[in-house]
Amino acid sequence: MDLLLRNGTIVTAAETYKADVGIEGGTIKQIGLGLGDAARTIDASGKYLFPGGIDVHTHVDLEEHLLGHGTVDDFYSSTAAAACGGVTTIVDYAFPAEGQGLQDALEAWIRKGTGKSVIDYGLHPVIRDPTDEVIAEMADVVAEGFTSFKIFTTALGRFDELASRYLKAIKEAGRLNALTNIHCEDQCCIDFITRELDDAGKAGSVRHYPDSRPREAEGLAAQRAVRMAGLADAPVYLVHLSCEEALQALDDARGRGQTVFGETRPLYLHLTREAYDGDDFPERYTCWPPLREMEQVEIIWQALESDVLQTVATDHIAWSKAQKLHGKRVDEFLPGMANLETLLPMLYSDGVRTGRLSLNRFVEVSSTNPAKLFGLYPKKGTIAVGSDADIVVFDPEKKVVIRQADMHSRQDWELHEGFETTGWPAFTISRGEVIVEDRQLLASPGRGELVKRKPFGSI
Amino acid sequence: MDLLLRNGTIVTAAETYKADVGIEGGTIKQIGLGLGDAARTIDASGKYLFPGGIDVHTHVDLEEHLLGHGTVDDFYSSTAAAACGGVTTIVDYAFPAEGQGLQDALEAWIRKGTGKSVIDYGLHPVIRDPTDEVIAEMADVVAEGFTSFKIFTTALGRFDELASRYLKAIKEAGRLNALTNIHCEDQCCIDFITRELDDAGKAGSVRHYPDSRPREAEGLAAQRAVRMAGLADAPVYLVHLSCEEALQALDDARGRGQTVFGETRPLYLHLTREAYDGDDFPERYTCWPPLREMEQVEIIWQALESDVLQTVATDHIAWSKAQKLHGKRVDEFLPGMANLETLLPMLYSDGVRTGRLSLNRFVEVSSTNPAKLFGLYPKKGTIAVGSDADIVVFDPEKKVVIRQADMHSRQDWELHEGFETTGWPAFTISRGEVIVEDRQLLASPGRGELVKRKPFGSI
Amino acid sequence: MDLLLRNGTIVTAAETYKADVGIEGGTIKQIGLGLGDAARTIDASGKYLFPGGIDVHTHVDLEEHLLGHGTVDDFYSSTAAAACGGVTTIVDYAFPAEGQGLQDALEAWIRKGTGKSVIDYGLHPVIRDPTDEVIAEMADVVAEGFTSFKIFTTALGRFDELASRYLKAIKEAGRLNALTNIHCEDQCCIDFITRELDDAGKAGSVRHYPDSRPREAEGLAAQRAVRMAGLADAPVYLVHLSCEEALQALDDARGRGQTVFGETRPLYLHLTREAYDGDDFPERYTCWPPLREMEQVEIIWQALESDVLQTVATDHIAWSKAQKLHGKRVDEFLPGMANLETLLPMLYSDGVRTGRLSLNRFVEVSSTNPAKLFGLYPKKGTIAVGSDADIVVFDPEKKVVIRQADMHSRQDWELHEGFETTGWPAFTISRGEVIVEDRQLLASPGRGELVKRKPFGSI
Amino acid sequence: MDLLLRNGTIVTAAETYKADVGIEGGTIKQIGLGLGDAARTIDASGKYLFPGGIDVHTHVDLEEHLLGHGTVDDFYSSTAAAACGGVTTIVDYAFPAEGQGLQDALEAWIRKGTGKSVIDYGLHPVIRDPTDEVIAEMADVVAEGFTSFKIFTTALGRFDELASRYLKAIKEAGRLNALTNIHCEDQCCIDFITRELDDAGKAGSVRHYPDSRPREAEGLAAQRAVRMAGLADAPVYLVHLSCEEALQALDDARGRGQTVFGETRPLYLHLTREAYDGDDFPERYTCWPPLREMEQVEIIWQALESDVLQTVATDHIAWSKAQKLHGKRVDEFLPGMANLETLLPMLYSDGVRTGRLSLNRFVEVSSTNPAKLFGLYPKKGTIAVGSDADIVVFDPEKKVVIRQADMHSRQDWELHEGFETTGWPAFTISRGEVIVEDRQLLASPGRGELVKRKPFGSI
């Protein structure tokens, strides 16, 4: 045996039990009591063994053309951050350039990852212009292992103009057993309010940022998304949901018998809209959609616990402080931030330790569900014999104060600076290789592999 | 006293009682038992006295430029039909020509009515392009007594392109205490399905007409409409609703505390989608939205009874058979038909006599509610001292078989040909003048007046 | 003409308009503009003319045997209070003594009213023991004009023991087109909590009174009531509802197509449970069910406005302060209080002036709806030609500070002492007779008549 | 190693994967690929390894005193049937005799099981009379490992009479972290309808059996149960639910934040009420509650799939045909039947093979969830290292026609006679011992052990 994890407490989506884990050839060979010797043995007494985190919503290396700025991370720095936080797989969005096809975009993205990624990664092609040519390409990219697509209901996707063609794309994805990810915010509402803020002289202040992208805009877009999915008879996955209006759309669709899924994001679990009123660089919190009220935070936790939502993912996108401060109006602030490294520790501290999530549910939303939905399971997403040995040895008592200085993203500021967590990965193991030990990255760039994914499978 | 209606049973939205009605100077002067002599006395024994019907949704004279064909009715023929059916007031939609302003459109429409209308009429300006100029005009037209607006969520209003500006218009209407009427069908869904039908070689058959404009499209547009109204903090009135998906949008909005209203249309109360499968000119039934399933018909009746819906209106628009047959594809058939003359008798026969609606509710949905919502009350919409003497002396036992030959619209075919009604107006009285007696029109063209309306008032 | 009300503003459930009202022989003979002379003319300029209030839930003269104490009011003092407050009809509950039949109970109650009542009154027989004999009597009492029954889900009706027989009684009432009134509180919950309070040494304090009869107990009993009504295929009317749990039962039943109605009571519109924490005779507020939280008050107002609830009634029952203080435990305090005189002024001040209710809805819930539901309409419940001239000339600007000293009930304390109302009856007219003028009672005892009622009719 | 299961497909609540299972000392020692030698090896190629079924609702040996008849099974015959059907644990209800305490009842039940049971068994004490003495006993029996209780809302529990004391018992159970099981049917409704059937001369026919215990009765009792649980702040588990009305009660309670669970029963998944119309011994189908309509069957499957319901259990109770035919009226027919042996094969055939349940959900509802809810997990309810080796080697392709002649219960007729299943246990293993092989029972009476259970733990 190559590696033996001894005396840990294995946690899966359904079980919590003590046993040793024996790893050989990158996969889990045995789980048992008193397993024999191995080339290396790690004592996991008092530790949890979680399946490695799977973050299916990242933008780890985005060039300037999309949002006017290039991200400060690339596949190396961001996956280093991921690994240090216990995430062993990401699925990144591959954006076509203007007029580019899906396969060309995927090739460009594979080039970005190759030689850089320290963990395994999949890719979702983004559809920004659902022409007949693009729709014709979909079957091929699914056949090649890219079994999900992304669309935006906002200006980024020129959605209002192209909606009936997007509907065709959603239908084609459904026919191909691929899962369509949808960013849900209604551009018309946002434009209207932005103009109102402008008229009132308020569009220049980040304090009014959350007003400019209200919950109603998200809820309305989510309702459109699930209704379109219903017409297309296709499954959909709504990304980064932040409020009850959007959850209602999921509920309604399920009540009609549709197959729909929902993702939330650390931001909506740990922060509230009061953040925009602060004085110390409040632009750091700008994101699509924006932070909401405290009562929405509780609603999102409750939805995560009760399976209204199925996953948590980061939308990781790293900008420098200068970039974040570049925009001067509510419709110019760059959205999002780096948060791959804090995803699991924050979810554990704020979720499991507070009793909001069981240990099993923590594993389910951060690893098993994303793996099942996006065709990675059972290769990824669990600790079971035959699966990839992607395992986090998690120390539930380790106290860490989050500091930008300790982070591996190249972002020069930190979202949760000063936040005190209890619980942090002691080791991160990817395909049997210890890639992080005690917050030190041991992996070499490029060891991470592109993962071809199976078709969408229900949870 | 000019006119005395003796011994009738007065029906209002809340009451049913026997009394005489004394009319002087065009208004109701007295209601009482054993009222004294008058210049003319009508014996209304065994008859109901209803306030005259108010149809707030008509297109009585539309030129070619909007839909490629001009209607066969004008203000004379259509209001003659209305009067003969017991309708004493209409509110017609004034459409601006390409680039035309609201006031110019209203002037054009007033010219159409002047010298022709035999009953009183109001006008709703239609907003087809909510430019800043148009929005700036709104306050003036409201001040002039046009206290409602109409918008379309379909291609007719280029809605998806202009949605954020429509939102501004809805907000401005709310600020002005004017009620925005919204035609709710989602164009993107319709376009998608039409293309699918095309691909399947089915777009040319009227049998597939209802598939091309599905209930989901209506429900989705209704959800958008009420959400936009919520953002605009303005009341809205959704026209010609046909299905539970749209009713759900009303319910949801009311649950959030919004002020929203719903209208249905005779078509959705009396006919089902099987009509498109017939052999005898099934194109007659094409309308926006199309006919639905039988269970939806019952749902609409139930919604009308239980105040989920507030009004019934016709969407009267008269096309010749040749015009109806001109289109060759599901997206070309001309929508709608003449039905002003049958509105009240059909509603009475199918609604009141079957027990679906009480007499009082019949009056409420066909007269009192439209009057209250559109600023006509108490001048119109009830039988009360001081109100205009717009009264239908209705014979509840009169049996009429509906025949095109007997109708006053110039449409050369009839939607309900052969339908047997029980209950028909014996007299129609407008501002104290008997304008119809025993189905004979006695009114001269142009006696009808333009009605300036008060601001929107809740029911 | 005997009496002419000149220049008032008539308010009915649907209309608000200015006209004169001519009264002859106790009924309304004419409504009109500029009506001619009469024996007496009252100038109603600046006043509203409301149909007299109808309170269908009173206990105006209860002997000792039921609750261990006799009420301090009788038919004279309580109807005097009613008249002074603008109520022109009550429907009182006739309780059989132990083992007494319904007809005997009605006879006893008629004896109480005869010679004493100053306004018209109907009677609901109470069923306390639904034996075969009692059920057999129901058809007779309905035939005699007592077209409603009352049952209690509490110990007062030994409900848990007799529930299947009560179900039979509800079914029989339905068959007879009589409406069953149900007091909904679950005795088992109350007993359980009372014992818990006892164990905690809290049962002796009025502060814990609202805990002892929680919203859940009301909601649960309401759910049982509507489910039983469903099985019995009979309409039911749930009395004095105080909370959302009970409203939900109404909603659910309506969603299943049942015919159900709901009443609330002034207490739940004007007061909150904090009242029990006061020092000045907080026992005054004890009632079944108890006062609730502020947010429930708003929910009840909203339900009244939106037709989830149909009526307001008082549950008037007058106890001396000594009687109220006699009980020493949460399960001993006498429930209820006198409030017939303040019903309409309080509802007007807190409801109409605040914008919670329209004028028309005020009339509907306080007069028209009770009249229609309980077979009094159109004799009572409206201002229309042919109806009884039961009219309140209401001065909307009259300011009155409520003082026990000014009240006509014999209760020696006042629920709303010191409350400032705006709006009070200037005249109360019953069958054309001015029985109250400027808060002075002019009526003689016994002028009020027993009203035989028609079968239940829907609203 | 004592026993090695080689090459099977392990199915747990969350995973499906191929691996060997090594068993030693009655528990699972290793799970891995290519595990080494063992005393015995079973080739499980092409088979599923399921955790043994756990049926938490049985009456395997009931004496005459409760229902007037003694069951034909005892702990031996019924657990033999269970084992042959793949069930390795039951939790049986221990009924106190009249006036008997809980501990005495448990002792009596342990005597029944001792020396007879071939599989492990737990016991739920039944509370039939919640006196202070009985409530005082609860803490002791929980301490001894009987961590759940059962109550009946029907006459069996004299519920309407004792409801407030049952509420106290539910609260005490909650305080003790014990789970209260509730049989939900409203006796008052049943009594009412039975009397109506009697009056109509229909009570003697089994055709009217389902009418006598309608869905409303179940729904109403379920609503009472969850409301009482809410007041008691305690978790509850509603047994053998059959219809949407009861599911609604669960939904409502969850919406209020309560912790509630639901069980269904094979009957409601495989049969419909038309069964009572048959000619061949239709009394076989009598049960509490009765069979429902086909659309309810689909609703129950859907609820099982979507986690509205958490478990399936049999309510196994074996009566001879003569006993079933003894009653002559709808209120006399003995409820229930033997069905422990067919539970898993029927659920697999009708559930998994039809696509209604995933393999994982099959395991979850038949083993993992019951184990977690009733304190048996992780000793029972999964296939994981350290757990008891209670495993079914299930042959998914084995076709069996169900015949009474092949069954191990002593019941002389079979509920599903002639039903063709696909999928049947090849081996049943209990604590590492092969107790059934190819439908042959190998176990000796009395090898089954009483299981002391841990406190209730959420799923």
- Tens-place pLDDT, residues A1-16: 999 999 999 999 999 9
pLDDT at D78 over 80: yes
**Nearest C-alpha in B relative to A196:** B168
Residues A101, A137 contacting (CB under 8 angstroms): yes
Residues A89, A55 contacting (CB under 8 angstroms): yes
pLDDT at A64: 87
Judge residue A18's burial from the number of C-beta atoms within 10 Å of its C-beta, 0-12 exposed, 13-18 middle, 19 or more buried: middle
Indicate which of C12, C30, C258 best probes the interface with B, i.e. most B CBs within 10 Å of its own CB. C30
Q: What is the mean pLDDT of residues A362-380?
A: 97
pLDDT at C131: 97
Q: What is the mean pLDDT of chain B?
A: 97
> In this predicted model, what pLDDT tens digit does every residue of B363-396 receive, in sequence order?
999 999 999 999 999 999 999 999 999 999 999 9
Give the minimum alpha-carbon distance from C31 to chain B in angstroms, rounded to a whole number.
5
pLDDT at C18: 96
**Is B228 close to A188, i.e. CB distance below 8 A?**
yes
The whole-angstrom separation of Cα D128 and Cα D98 is: 9
The answer for C357, left when phi > 0, alpha when psi is -120 to 50, beta otherwise, is: beta
The whole-angstrom separation of Cα D292 and Cα D298 is: 11
> In this predicted model, what pLDDT tens digit does every residue of C52-85 receive, in sequence order?
999 999 999 998 888 889 999 999 999 999 999 9
Would you give the DSSP letter of residue C388?
A: B
> In this predicted model, what pLDDT tens digit does every residue of A273-319 receive, in sequence order?
999 999 999 999 999 999 999 999 999 999 999 999 999 999 999 99
Neighbours of chain B (3+ CB pairs under 8 A): A, C
pLDDT at D171: 98
Q: What is the mean pLDDT of chain D?
A: 97
Residues of C in contact with D213 (CB under 8 A): none
Residue found by looking up tokens 């592999």 in the block = A449
Beta strand pairing call for B433-437 and B440-441: antiparallel
**Is C214 close to D231, i.e. CB distance below 8 A?**
yes
Our answer on whether C and D touch (3+ beta-carbon pairs < 8 Å) is yes
Give the minimum alpha-carbon distance from D294 to chain C in angstroms, rounded to a whole number.
20
The whole-angstrom separation of Cα C370 and Cα C311 is: 6
Closest Cβ–Cβ partner in A17, A31, A458 for D30: A31
pLDDT band at C457 (very low <50, low <70, confident <90, very high): confident
Closest Cβ–Cβ partner in D189, D195, D227 for C231: D189
Residues C303, C264 contacting (CB under 8 angstroms): yes
Residues of C in contact with B254 (CB under 8 A): 306
Residues C365, C357 contacting (CB under 8 angstroms): yes
Beta strand pairing call for C420-430 and C391-401: antiparallel
- What are the φ/ψ torsions at residue B140 (nearest 5 degrees)? -65, -45
Residues of C in contact with D216 (CB under 8 A): 227, 230-231
**Is B161 close to A161, i.e. CB distance below 8 A?**
yes
Alpha-carbon B139 to chain mean position? 25
Instruction: Name beta bridge partners: A436.
Output: A428, A441
- Give the side-chain half-sphere CA count within 13 A for B224: 32
pLDDT band at B43 (very low <50, low <70, confident <90, very high): very high
**Nearest C-alpha in A relative to B214:** A231
User: Which of A140, A315, A163, A161 lies closest to A227 in space, CA to CA?
Assistant: A163
Chain A residues at the B interface, defined by Cβ less than 8 Å, are 160-161, 163-168, 186-193, 195, 214, 216-217, 219-220, 223-224, 227-228, 230-231
Please count the residues of chain B: 459
> In this predicted model, what pLDDT tens digit does every residue of B449-458 receive, in sequence order?
999 999 997 6
pLDDT band at D459 (very low <50, low <70, confident <90, very high): confident
Q: Which pair of structure tokens corresponds to residue A402?
A: 């989050």
pLDDT band at D66 (very low <50, low <70, confident <90, very high): confident
Q: What is the mean pLDDT of residues B295-321?
A: 97
Closest Cβ–Cβ partner in B31, B34, B254 for C31: B31
Helix ranges (H only) for C72-158 are: 75-85, 102-113, 132-143
pLDDT at A457: 78
Residues of B in contact with C17 (CB under 8 A): 378, 384-387
**Is A216 close to B223, i.e. CB distance below 8 A?**
no
Neighbours of chain C (3+ CB pairs under 8 A): B, D
Residues of C in contact with D223 (CB under 8 A): 220, 223-224, 227
Q: What is the mean pLDDT of residues B217-233?
A: 96
Report which residue type is found at C291: L
Would you give the DSSP letter of residue D155?
A: G
Residues A265, A297 contacting (CB under 8 angstroms): no
> Cα torsion at B322, B327, B329, B334 (round to 10°)?
-90
**Is A227 close to B214, i.e. CB distance below 8 A?**
no
**Is C14 close to B17, i.e. CB distance below 8 A?**
no
Chain C residues at the D interface, defined by Cβ less than 8 Å, are 160-161, 163-165, 167-168, 186-193, 195, 214, 216-217, 219-220, 223-224, 227-228, 230-231
Beta strand pairing call for C48-51 and C3-11: parallel
**Nearest C-alpha in B relative to A164:** B188
Q: How many CB pairs under 8 A join A and B?
A: 75
**Is D188 close to C219, i.e. CB distance below 8 A?**
no
pLDDT at C64: 87
**Nearest C-alpha in B relative to C383:** B15
Q: Measured between alpha carbons, how far is residue D339 from residues D19, D310, D320, D345 in Å?
A: 32, 19, 13, 11
Closest Cβ–Cβ partner in C10, C16, C29 for B33: C29
Q: Which of A63-72, B231-240, C36-45, D441-450 has the lowest mean pLDDT?
A: A63-72
Q: What is the mean pLDDT of chain A?
A: 97
Closest Cβ–Cβ partner in C31, C364, C387 for B32: C31
Q: What is the mean pLDDT of residues C389-415?
A: 98
pLDDT at D348: 98
Would you give the DSSP letter of residue D371?
A: H
Our answer on whether B and D touch (3+ beta-carbon pairs < 8 Å) is no
Helix ranges (H only) for C100-214 are: 102-113, 132-143, 159-175, 187-199, 209-212
The whole-angstrom separation of Cα A166 and Cα A149 is: 11
Would you give the DSSP letter of residue C228?
A: H
pLDDT at C348 over 90: yes
Residues B371, B120 contacting (CB under 8 angstroms): no
> Cα torsion at B279, B285, B287, B293 (round to 10°)?
-90
**Is D163 close to C188, i.e. CB distance below 8 A?**
yes
Residues D366, D54 contacting (CB under 8 angstroms): yes
How large is the greatest C-alpha to C-alpha distance in chain B, in angstroms?
73
Closest Cβ–Cβ partner in D14, D31, D306 for A30: D31
> In this predicted model, what pLDDT tens digit does every residue of B87-98 receive, in sequence order?
999 999 999 999
Judge residue B264's burial from the number of C-beta atoms within 10 Å of its C-beta, 0-12 exposed, 13-18 middle, 19 or more buried: buried
Residues of B in contact with A193 (CB under 8 A): 231
The whole-angstrom separation of Cα D224 and Cα C224 is: 8
Give the SS3 label for residue B11.
strand
Instruction: Name beta bridge partners: C55.
Output: C90
**Nearest C-alpha in A relative to B159:** A160
Q: How many CB pairs under 8 A join C and D?
A: 73
Residues B206, B331 contacting (CB under 8 angstroms): no
Name the percent of chain D lying above pLDDT 70: 100
pLDDT at A66 over 90: no
**Where are the strands (E) in D97-210, listed by range?**
120-125, 148-152, 179-183
pLDDT at B65: 82
User: Which of D131, D124, D137, D126 lies closest to D162 in space, CA to CA?
Assistant: D131
Residues A373, A181 contacting (CB under 8 angstroms): no
> How crowded is residue A429: how many other Cβ atoms within 10 Å of its Cβ?
28
pLDDT at C405: 97
Judge residue C143's burial from the number of C-beta atoms within 10 Å of its C-beta, 0-12 exposed, 13-18 middle, 19 or more buried: exposed
ipTM given for this complex: 0.93
Q: What is the mean pLDDT of residues A76-95?
A: 98
Q: What is the mean pLDDT of residues B197-208?
A: 96
> In this predicted model, what pLDDT tens digit does every residue of A108-148 receive, in sequence order?
999 999 999 999 999 999 999 999 999 999 999 999 999 99
Our answer on whether B and A touch (3+ beta-carbon pairs < 8 Å) is yes
Q: What is the mean pLDDT of chain C?
A: 97
**Nearest C-alpha in B relative to C24:** B33
pLDDT band at B54 (very low <50, low <70, confident <90, very high): very high
pTM for the full model? Answer: 0.94
- What are the φ/ψ torsions at residue C144 (nearest 5 degrees)? -85, 0
pLDDT band at C101 (very low <50, low <70, confident <90, very high): very high
pLDDT at B459: 72
Helix ranges (H only) for B121-278 are: 132-143, 159-175, 187-199, 209-212, 215-232, 244-255, 266-270
Q: Which pair of structure tokens corresponds to residue D317?
A: 């109770």
Indicate which of B218, B224, B251 best probes the interface with A, i.e. most A CBs within 10 Å of its own CB. B224
The whole-angstrom separation of Cα C227 and Cα C243 is: 18
Beta strand pairing call for D48-51 and D3-11: parallel
Give the minimum alpha-carbon distance from D281 to chain A in angstroms, rounded to a whole number.
38
Would you give the DSSP letter of residue D418?
A: T
User: Which of D147, D56, D136, D150 lies closest to D96 in space, CA to CA?
Assistant: D150
Which residues, in sequence order, are CB contacts of B437 under 8 Å at separation 6+?
B426, B427
pLDDT at D42 over 90: yes
pLDDT band at A36 (very low <50, low <70, confident <90, very high): confident
Report which residue type is found at B106: L
> In this predicted model, what pLDDT tens digit does every residue of D380-425 receive, in sequence order?
999 999 999 999 999 999 999 999 999 999 999 999 999 999 999 9
Residues B237, B179 contacting (CB under 8 angstroms): yes
pLDDT at B224: 96
The whole-angstrom separation of Cα C198 and Cα D386 is: 49
Residues D13, D364 contacting (CB under 8 angstroms): yes
**Nearest C-alpha in B relative to A245:** B227
User: Which of D352, D256, D244, D346 lies closest to D303 in space, CA to CA?
Assistant: D244
Q: What is the mean pLDDT of residues D85-109?
A: 97
Which residues, in sequence order, are CB contacts of A440 under 8 Å at separation 6+?
none
Residues of C in contact with B385 (CB under 8 A): 10, 17-19, 31-33
Give the minimum alpha-carbon distance from B355 to chain C in angstroms, rounded to a whole number.
12
Residues C342, C403 contacting (CB under 8 angstroms): no
How large is the greatest C-alpha to C-alpha distance in chain A, in angstroms?
73
- What are the φ/ψ torsions at residue B61 (nearest 5 degrees)? -155, 95
User: Which of D130, D65, D132, D142 lies closest to D103 in space, CA to CA?
Assistant: D142
Would you give the DSSP letter of residue D95?
A: P
The whole-angstrom separation of Cα C444 and Cα D242 is: 63
Radius of gyration of chain C (CA): 21
> H or E stretch including A346?
helix A343-347
Which residues, in sequence order, are CB contacts of D200 under 8 Å at separation 6+?
none
Which residues, in sequence order, are CB contacts of D207 under 8 Å at separation 6+?
D276, D277, D282
The whole-angstrom separation of Cα B168 and Cα B234 is: 10
Give the SS3 label for residue A102.
helix
Give the minimum alpha-carbon distance from D118 to chain A in angstroms, rounded to a whole number.
27
Radius of gyration of chain D (CA): 21
pLDDT at A425 over 90: yes
Q: Measured between alpha carbons, how far is residue B192 from residues A232, B197, B210, B430 in Å?
A: 9, 9, 14, 47
**Nearest C-alpha in D relative to C226:** D220
Name the percent of chain C lying above pLDDT 90: 97
